[in-house]
Amino acid sequence: MPAPNDPGRCPTALEAENTLIAVVEMSQSSWLVAAMVPGVGRHPLKKLEADEAALLRLLERWRGEAAKAGRSITRIAVAFEAGRDGFWLARWLRARSVEAHVIHPTSVAVSREHRRAKTDRLDTELLKRSFLGWLRGEPNHCSMATVPTLEEEDAKRPHRERESLVAERTRVVNRMRGCLARLGIRAFRPTLRKAPERLESLRTREGAAVPPNTLAELRRDMARLRFITDQIREVEAARLERLERTPGEKQTAMVRLLARIIGVGVETADMLVREVLSRDLRDRRAVARYAGLTGTPDASGAKRREKGLAKAATRGCAAA
């Protein structure tokens, strides 16, 4: 029997005679749907426009084909890989009594051959085999992602946006420092408040002024840096305002409690609450895997060694 909250096994027993199984290979312009329909000898494969209503009509059509073959469909299970489209389709299908799952792409084993055929049709066959094994309760076929609600997904946006803005700020600063280093200027700090005013007084190692094109580029980077910095401050101010506005919420209380720990600021506390503590991790091993604290043993024949921590953590958790 699968352990509670085990994403690697289906908690519900599979009744193959009454279950319509389908997988969707999603792209920006079209979807390729493959299915296993009870009572139908063939494995149907259908290409659709990226339209959820058309997908639902197709599933109902296959349900009708199974009914004509004398099979009563009591369960429709659909899966697709996590990607650009996120979780909206899973929520939409679940609202219409369709069991929808989102597969972790890295949990599906693929061929290790250097040259291998890869098409949407082959990808759907691979997804179908992996999903069928997961439904049967067999381990190590694939792992499912937890489908968040729209509110839970939206609550993660502020700190993820801030992380992206901080990375963009670092790229701009490094680009400016590299530009100045080519002229032998190393003591200039672009992040200072009066840095734009000091650009005109900069001199190269030869004693010349900064060339006009380089100076114009630095001014544009300065303007971009100010804009990014203002956006970071806006995100941080909105987060503090939200914490003040909703003191009674459970997650707000958790953020405040964590922020009281020495060395843990509001940003780290908010990330931990929204990304880590909001997940229903089943045991300590799952927590360690999420944080990248699992070992990587290397054993073959008489050789036995430990290669250290895997360091394959979620980006936000690793940054903390």
pLDDT digits (tens, 9 = 90+) for 177-215: 999 999 998 888 988 888 888 888 889 888 888 899 999
Report which of residues 295 and 264 the model is more confident about. 264
Flag whether pLDDT at 230 surpasses 90. yes
pLDDT value at residue 310: 66
Query: Residue 318's pLDDT band (boundaries 50, 70, 90)?
Result: very low
Mean residue pLDDT of the chain comes to 87
Flag whether pLDDT at 30 surpasses 70. yes
The reported pTM is 0.80
Flag whether pLDDT at 40 surpasses 60. yes
Flag whether pLDDT at 300 surpasses 70. yes
Question: What string of DSSP letters covers the chain?
Answer: -PPTT-TTS-SS---GGGEEEEEEEE-SSEEEEEEE-TT-SS--EEEEES-HHHHHHHHHHHHHHHHHTT----EEEEEEE-STTTTHHHHHHHTTT-EEEEE-GGGS-----SS----HHHHHHHHHHHHHHHHTT-TTS--EEP---HHHHHHTHHHHHHHHHHHHHHHHHHHHHHHHHTTT--S--TTSTTHHHHTTT-B-TTSPBPPHHHHHHHHHHHHHHHHHHHHHHHHHHHHHHHHHH-TTSHHHHHHHHHHTSTT--HHHHHHIIIIITTS---SHHHHHHHHT--EEEEEETTEEEEEEE-----HHHHH-
pLDDT digits (tens, 9 = 90+) for 241-254: 988 888 888 888 88
Into which CATH architecture does domain 16-147 fall?
2-Layer Sandwich (3.30)
pLDDT digits (tens, 9 = 90+) for 120-165: 888 899 999 999 999 998 888 888 888 989 998 898 899 999 999 9
Query: What are the structural domain ranges in the chain?
Result: 16-147, 154-245, 284-319
